[in-house]
Amino acid sequence: MKILAAVIIPPHLSASGAANAAKHLSASLANHCDLEIDIAILAFEEINSSFGKAKLLARKSSNILSFTKGLLPNKFRTLFYRADIPALIQQGEYDLVHLHNVIPALETKRVAQACVKQKIPYVISTHGFCEITSGGKAYALKHLHEKLAWKFCIEKPLDYIVQHAQRIFALSPLEYPMLQSLGIEKEKIRIVTNGVDEAFYTKSSPQQVQSIAHKLNLPKLAEKDVPVGIFLGNHTKNKGVDVLLEAFSQVKKPFMLIVCGQKRAGIDYDAFAQKLSDRQKIIFTDWIPAQDIVALFQYADLFVYPTLSDTLPLVILEAMASGLPVISTKVGGIPYQINKNCGILVDPGNPQAIKEAFEQLTENKQRLAQMGHIAYQTVKTKFDWRISAQKAFGFYQEILAETRELSYPPAPAQLLISSSSILDNP
């Protein structure tokens, strides 16, 4: 069986949770089931490499609006990235295509159309679906031209994509209402959730933790005397960075907040930092390598992720695997990840609720550590790439068996004669 995992995501987001989830699931499939798997992902440069036993094909992408950089908001250019993944489908002799992420939706539709043309079945994992079904609310779209772009560049292509998919791989059972609102029959939905990279279960050495602390000018681990929260994600509207910063500008007690992720224009980082009092500090790391994230998670006391729209964030599972309790929001599949024993969930877009949750959780260090242990155990028992790979492989087999049945030609009419007819007409 030869599978193409097509990761349709803007190249500047190639290190996002959706992209990482696609790569880890594909690698687990290649390890467990001895499948031949190619992972094609939009990129700035064309590079062929490997991810585990899977082939990683970074496909150079283009964008008809590239000349508008600095003139047009990035959220519009994002809609028009494209690459040669449809050509790969035409040439690669794949048995099945697995689509991961659906934005840019115009490109995802092109990939889906190539599958239909080649009569290759495809499935979709629901990364990004929560954002799409928000009707643009996740990105705070207000103007008519923004809403029209959303409708014709995202919602309309999505109609085609889901209509022709053989299966939709939901990341949690909480997605059933959302998917059925798109007209997807329940019989078409299967659950294939996320797992966690083993690196997040591995404890960094004290030297590694101290190294990243020194790099970011943080107190030594042994000298840390205030609670430390950490955020990791894109600094886009839908991830709630402005909510995070507003919440911590209201906190009364001493704290340290580490904000990881590449800074973006339009956010006045200095203004939030200037609101802080003594023994309060926000550290903006900008982009940070994966190995440093593992160590920083072990430096912190809890993970704070006030996202406005998410499906099943991989970063929450990674923080939990590192032993961190979580403050997050009641959106998408997050309530499937977190319960009251390992975190607090609040309504999205509410800085006051984030502030109160932080102050409440950090009142009792022993309880906080206990919640972190429960978070670790929850992820360890509930989210595993190997189990997800087993399920995905079974669903692949199910689809291909159906496809083979449909491909058999019907028996010629003259052979469809009952035995009784033969006896009646010797």
* Residue 396 pLDDT class (50, 70, 90 cuts): very high
pLDDT in tens, 334-354: 999 999 999 999 999 999 999
Q: What is the mean pLDDT of residues 371-383?
A: 96
Which residue in this structure is represented by tokens 């790439």? 385
* Residue 406 pLDDT class (50, 70, 90 cuts): low
Q: Which two tokens stand for residue 355?
A: 């502030």
What is the b/e burial string over 317-343, where b = at least 16 CB atoms within 10 angstroms of the residue's CB?
bbbbbbbbbbbbbebbbbebbbeeebb
**Considering only the top CATH level, what class is 198-382?**
alpha beta
Q: Note the CATH architecture for domain 2-195+384-398.
A: 3-Layer(aba) Sandwich (3.40)
Residue limits of CATH 3.40.50.2000 in the chain:
2-195+384-398, 198-382
pLDDT in tens, 115-133: 999 999 999 999 989 877 7
* Residue 420 pLDDT class (50, 70, 90 cuts): very low
Q: What are phi and psi of 21, to 5 degrees?
A: -60, -45
Q: What is the mean pLDDT of residues 274-290?
A: 90
Specify the higher pLDDT residue, 148 or 280: 280
Give the rounded percent of residues in the chain with a pLDDT score beyond 70.
Answer: 93
pLDDT for res 135: 65
Q: For all residues of the chain together, what is the average pLDDT?
A: 90
Looking at residue 53, its amino acid is K
